[in-house]
Amino acid sequence: MLREILEAMLVDIESDRSERTVSIDKTDKFAEAICAFSNDLPNNRQPGYLFIGANANGSACGINVTDRLLQNLAHIRSDGNIQPLPSMNVQKWNLGGGEMAVVEVLPSDLPPVRYKGQIWVRIGPSRRIATEAEERILMERRASLAKTWDARPCREATLSDLALDIFTLSYRPSAIDRTVIEGNHRSIEEQLAALRFYDLRAGCPTHAAVLLFGGNPCFYFPGAYVQYVRYEGATQASRVLRAPPRLSGDLLSVMRRLDEIAQDIANSKPVPTGIGYAEREGFDYPPRALHELLMNAIIHRNYESTTPVMVNHYEDRIEILNPGGLYGDLTPDQFPRVTAYRNPVVAEAAKTLGFVNRFGRGIDVAQAELANNGSPAAEFDVQLNHFLVTIRKPV
């Protein structure tokens, strides 16, 4: 953020790139503004700014900008209510004669962006829910902006390749506000496109749609499955105790079946607490930790690879190996403090369907669950073309 830009916006009237508020606890209001700036309906391709603690004339209203306020604002990005994730910065500034919290929001490459299932846009100084025409503009704009693999068109696929009842009955009610669905006049193609599952220009589903709703995703992406194998010993040379058929099909079904496996291999058992005869529930592998690490493998893997996600269960450990190293310019020394999404549409779907509670917290949650269970911390081996996670039984 540059001071001269912020000062110029404060002395000018509100516009489609700036909004002021004296409120410090109106989370919905803040999130709607962030959503609108992300959508960038006027196509400025420049950041929008939310000034918290600013009067209508641009002067400071006299708030104290605390660490708690800045943390609450930053939390809006990752709590999963704005999808896809907005790109934003939060800082404390001395402007207009006092303290302000300033949220800088960059235009999204994957519009339309929704807050709690509704698309917010900004026209001049006003913020409101997008009309159907405005929503279509944002969908068409995305075709020229989309950079991630899962948002690109799968040109060989058609609507007949999708199990549309999964979309209409399971996904859509979770992703779209009920009032929007009730007033819906859009075709199924437009409904899918609004959630990044159909490319209107190419006239075909996106890669994410085939993964999430396809009857046979492996036809288009041969490695889009999970293989679980249980060994008797500590190496792959040991006798195989269990090797069920590969987990394939739509990702919703795959994620559900992975959770069933996690519950099955967790192996609950009573553990002495050391206080009299009291006991607590312990596990070979905490199911919540397994869930988070398995979901990470599904969300972050490289689906262009013909290699599946491998879950190898040995006598003393479980190894989860997925194709694709860290995405983009993320480096091993930044991991896991920083997250980069190779498949943001798939990540959004996992959050929408309840398989992920918050973005960027899966590894922290898994490590905490392992620690509470008395298990060693998960180990990570990050290579150029693969990502290996190892979790071990408690000593």
- Evaluate whether 373 touches 286 at the Cβ level (below 8 Å): yes
Same domain, residue pair 152 and 111:
no
Same domain, residue pair 178 and 318:
no
Give every CB contact of residue 392 below 8 A, 6+ residues apart in sequence.
Answer: 316, 317, 375, 376, 379
Same domain, residue pair 152 and 254:
no
Specify the higher pLDDT residue, 80 or 219: 219
Whether 221 is covered by a domain: the verdict is no
153 residue type, one letter: P
Same domain, residue pair 321 and 254:
yes
Q: For 243-289, write each residue's pLDDT tens digit.
A: 989 999 999 999 999 999 999 999 888 877 777 667 778 899 999 99
Residue 329 clears pLDDT 70, i.e. is over it: no
Whether 233 is covered by a domain: the verdict is yes
Total domains in the fold of the chain = 3
Same domain, residue pair 150 and 201:
yes
Same domain, residue pair 172 and 232:
no
What is the domain range of residue 186? 146-216
Burial category of 383 from C-beta neighbours within 10 Å (exposed 0-12, middle 13-18, buried 19 and up)? exposed
Q: For 5-47, write each residue's pLDDT tens digit.
A: 999 999 999 999 999 999 999 999 999 999 999 999 998 889 9
CA distances from 330 to 22, 173, 285, 336 (A): 37, 34, 29, 10
Other CB atoms within 10 A of residue 91 CB: 14
Task: Give the CATH number, domain containing residue 48.
Answer: 3.30.950.30
Quote the pLDDT of residue 330.
66
Task: Give the CATH number, domain containing residue 242.
Answer: 3.30.565.60
Torsion of CA 107, 110, 114, 115, to 10 degrees: -60
Q: For 157-183, write each residue's pLDDT tens digit.
A: 999 999 999 999 999 998 888 888 777
Can you tell me the mean pLDDT for 98-125? Answer: 94
Q: How far is CA 293 from the centre of its chain?
A: 14
Same domain, residue pair 155 and 269:
no
Same domain, residue pair 60 and 156:
no
